[in-house]
Amino acid sequence: MTRAARHAADGLVLLALACAAYALKRFYSGASAAELLFILSPTARVVELATATAWRFEAGVGFVSVAHATAIVPACAGINFVIAATATLSVGFLGHFGSLAGKVGWALAAVAMALITAPVVNAIRILADLALRDVVLANHLHASAHRGLGVMVYFGATCLLYTLADRLAAFPSMESRCP
């Protein structure tokens, strides 16, 4: 595949991923807890195991913990992490694949890696937020700290996922492929 063809294939795959991310974001913005069970349920299970407390699904709300007086609601689904992690893995490694099929395969693997890690990463964010809530008592301070904590956890997890993918995949050097 020529250099121009590789770049065109990269652009095609990235365009398809951008369209998928847009569609997922549109779906997520209006989705109910029941529609997001595919990601809320595994997240709630991880949090349940870590806290040793019950998190029960309530239609129209999400997963609720009476013991923690809180809920894992659609806004806590981790879809933003899935999108960011998929984009990072895709943009970061598409150039390592010389064929369109390889690029598409990698993009699909990036989506799978993001979906598999999202419940654990999201559970870490929720657990950290539960700990933070005990320290930050004022509601307005907690809301700002909650957002900042989410950004830090998602960013750190995305960087870690990228590093792990890079190390585990043992991608060949890009310099060896440049003409």
Domain containing 18 equals 3-177
Q: How many independent structural domains does the chain possess? A: 1
How far is the C-alpha of 39 from the C-alpha of 109, rounded, in Å?
17
Q: What is the pLDDT of residue 138?
A: 55
Q: What is the pLDDT of residue 179?
A: 46
Q: How far is CA 80 from CA 38, 39, 88, 129, 137, in A?
A: 15, 12, 12, 17, 27
Q: What is the pLDDT of residue 142?
A: 63
Residue 152 host element (H or E): helix 139-169
With a cut of 50, which residues of the chain have pLDDT below it?
174-179
Query: Measured between alpha carbons, how far apart are the two ends of the chain, in Å?
Result: 12
- CA dihedral 155→133→44→113, nearest 10 degrees, is 10
Q: What is the pLDDT of residue 32?
A: 95
pTM: 0.84
Q: Which two tokens stand for residue 39?
A: 């990601």
